[in-house]
Amino acid sequence: MDRGLYIAASGMLAEMARQDILANDMANTSTAGYKADRVTQRSFSEVLLQNTATGANIGPIGTGAGITKQVTDLAPQTQKETDEPLDFAIAGTGFFAVRTGQGVRYTRNGAFQTGQGGQLVDQLNNPVLNQRGQTIKVNADGTVDPANLGVYKLNNAKKSGEGLFTGTAAGKDTGITRSGALEGSGVDASRAMIDMIASLRAFESGQKVIQTIDQTLDQAASRLGSVQ
């Protein structure tokens, strides 16, 4: 099989995976506290070309492309004022903690509300925790002191869906909680759109390469028998 087919196909598969990530980012351009993902690509193991006479290496040949790593950009984003007493944002680093059915999870989305029994909960009705891992009561006037919310330092943070993260809590972080505001999404809509267009063009290029190779192989096969 022609090596070019493998190279083009691997590039197309890598771009398909990249498009899934970009599409998810674009769908969350308005989600408070959302963190965008980044991917890196590299060629697969390279084959060294050698001079058949001397054995000297004369350069590498790539055997395709693939996504090697997906990284979430956890940098704090700008905050927007909402004037809602149960909206909270962390100025700086750190995560809020919530108790879910799968254990404690962490989030930067501080769009909270009053739940059953007057507890402070997130939009999925998961109780929000203080720095001691205890639930928080909403005051009779519908407010919560920002200082009561836990701000956790999180090592090895990984997305677990619904804007939540898993990881290893490492005590209190340095971020400061403020009420009446939410952290904006970490997605740059313009950049995501440009990246998506570039990825689609790269995917189309792979298609054209495969079509060209297919046509070349077809001509070679059809003319082989007519060679005198």
pTM of the model: 0.68
228 burial level (CB within 10 Å; 0-12, 13-18, 19+): exposed
Q: Of residues 116 and 206, which shows the higher confidence score?
A: 116
Q: Where are the domains of the chain?
A: 3-73+187-224, 79-183
Average pLDDT over residues 63-88: 85
- Buried b or exposed e, range 149-186, using 16+ CB within 10 angstroms: bbbbbbeebeebeebbbbbebeeebebebebbbbbbbb
144-195 pLDDT per residue, tens: 999 999 999 999 999 998 899 999 999 999 999 999 999 999 888 888 888 8
Instruction: Report the alpha-carbon distance of residue 199 to residue 222 in Å, rounded.
Output: 35
* List of residues 6+ apart from 141 with CB closer than 8 A: none
CB atoms within 10 A of CB 39: 17
Instruction: Report the alpha-carbon distance of residue 88 to residue 79 in Å, rounded.
Output: 10
90-141 pLDDT per residue, tens: 999 999 999 999 999 999 999 999 999 999 999 999 999 999 999 999 999 9
Whether 112 contacts 82, CB under 8 Å: no
Residue with tokens 């989030």: 107
